[in-house]
């Protein structure tokens, strides 16, 4: 089978994404969904291959991505799941709302694997937080574990509004039972010290929200959120994809945050948790 060329196509850009490219992609997907990744960049006016767009969206721009440090609970969950599943990062990610397989993979390779080795060498050492945050002080190996459990949930408003729908979530039914139990224990989020069940926090989302619905469906957004978002859309994305305008970042604004705010506002507007609206 001969594979179609991808990024080696002449003129297609590679490497880090610019805020402008992000905004184009967000705007396009927000408006039209992502029925066909290959066709998307051409239609959106991006000099990227579809694969690159898909990766950027799923790993970084998706509205339910949770950024920031991993909490102790998340790290322990990753370790447990890795014991059970091995390097099946997408399956692990499916059990960690808001986290991507790529992110989990990175954390595993950069923190957890190392720490597990240390723990094996010294079993009395408790699990240490990763302190991904460069501002966080580095904990010494011997320091005791005393970290707030909600550490790392920087933007809870954007997290976990629907169950992750990793297509490769083909965990055996044998493990599903234990997973279900684990989900019950882990599918919660701490917001300002309050324990909030994430499935209660967010409005109910259509099953097809994250599906690869074709363009004919017009959007991948939940239909419940589409009713009156035109003004919000205009406020957050004051341009359209066919008439691309260079966004003004001179005020220090951030396209990612703006995009996330857009989603956040939609959820609050659609009946999101009052606790979250404090953010």
* CA atoms of 99 and 60, how far apart (whole Å): 10
* Ordered alpha helix ranges (H), the chain: 19-32, 40-44, 50-56, 72-85, 89-94, 101-107, 113-121, 173-186, 198-201, 230-236, 255-269
143 binds DNA (CB under 7 A): no
245 binds DNA (CB under 7 A): no
* CA atoms of 226 and 60, how far apart (whole Å): 23
Beta carbons within 10 angstroms of residue 112's beta carbon? 20
Contact stretch for DNA (CB under 7 A) within 46-54, 141-149, 155-163, 171-179: 46-54
* CA atoms of 72 and 165, how far apart (whole Å): 24
Min separation Cβ 149 and DNA, Å = 19
Total of residues contacting DNA (CB under 7 A)? 52
Among 19, 20, 80, 102, the residue binding DNA under the rule CB under 7 A is: 102
Query: Looking only at residues 215 through 244 of this chain, which bind DNA when binding is defined by CB under 7 A?
Result: none
Min separation Cβ 269 and DNA, Å = 27
Query: Looking only at residues 70 through 89 of this chain, which bind DNA when binding is defined by CB under 7 A?
Result: 87-89
Among 9, 45, 47, 109, the residue binding DNA under the rule CB under 7 A is: 109
Q: Characterize the bridge pairing of strands 194-197 and 188-191.
A: antiparallel
66 binds DNA (CB under 7 A): no
32 binds DNA (CB under 7 A): no
Residues sharing a CB contact under 8 Å with residue 201, sequence separation 6 or more, in sequence order: 161, 189, 272, 273, 275, 276
Alpha-carbon torsion 22, 25, 31, 35, what sign?
A: negative
Task: Name the burial class of residue 273, with classes exposed (0-12), middle (13-18) and buried (19+) by CB atoms within 10 angstroms of its CB.
Answer: buried
Contact stretch for DNA (CB under 7 A) within 37-45, 215-223, 240-248, 265-273: 37-45
182 binds DNA (CB under 7 A): no
111 binds DNA (CB under 7 A): yes
Rg of the chain (C-alpha set): 20
Query: Looking only at residues 2 through 31 of this chain, which bind DNA when binding is defined by CB under 7 A?
Result: 2-4, 6-8, 13-17
The nearer residue to DNA, 127 or 233, going by C-beta atoms, is 127
| Residue 269, token pair as written in the block | 């507007």
| Residue 96, token pair as written in the block | 């960690």
* CA atoms of 249 and 77, how far apart (whole Å): 38
Min separation Cβ 137 and DNA, Å = 9
Min separation Cβ 74 and DNA, Å = 13
Q: Using CB under 7 A, list all residues that contact DNA.
A: 1-4, 6-8, 13-17, 34-39, 48, 50-52, 54-56, 58-60, 87-91, 101-103, 105-107, 109-111, 114, 130, 132, 134, 138, 166-169, 212
């Amino acid at each position: 089978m001969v594979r179609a060329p991808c990024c080696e196509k002449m003129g297609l850009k590679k490497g880090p994404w610019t805020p402008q490219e992000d905004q184009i992609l967000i705007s396009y997907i927000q408006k039209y969904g992502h029925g066909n990744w290959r066709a998307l960049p051409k239609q959106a006016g991006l000099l990227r291959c579809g694969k690159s767009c898909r990766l950027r969206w799923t790993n970084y721009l998706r509205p339910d991505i949770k950024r920031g440090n991993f909490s102790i609970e998340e790290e322990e969950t990753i370790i447990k799941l890795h014991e059970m599943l091995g390097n099946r990062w997408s399956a692990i990610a499916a059990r960690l709302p808001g986290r991507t397989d790529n992110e989990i993979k990175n954390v595993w390779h950069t923190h957890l694997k190392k720490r597990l080795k240390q723990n094996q060498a010294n079993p009395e050492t408790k699990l240490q937080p990763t302190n991904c945050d460069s501002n966080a002080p580095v904990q010494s190996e011997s320091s005791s574990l005393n970290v707030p459990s909600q550490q790392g949930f920087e933007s809870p408003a954007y997290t976990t509004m629907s169950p992750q729908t990793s297509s490769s979530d083909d965990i055996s039914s044998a493990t599903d039972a234990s997973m279900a139990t684990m989900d019950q224990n882990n599918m919660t989020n701490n917001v300002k010290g309050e324990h909030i069940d994430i499935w209660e926090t967010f409005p109910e989302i259509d099953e097809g929200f994250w599906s690869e619905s074709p363009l004919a469906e017009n959007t991948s957004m939940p239909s419940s959120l589409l009713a009156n978002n035109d003004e919000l859309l205009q406020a957050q994305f004051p341009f359209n994809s066919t008439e691309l305008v260079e966004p003004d970042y001179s005020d220090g604004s951030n396209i990612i945050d703006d995009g996330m705010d857009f989603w956040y506002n939609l959820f609050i507007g659609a009946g999101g948790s009052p606790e979250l609206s404090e953010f």
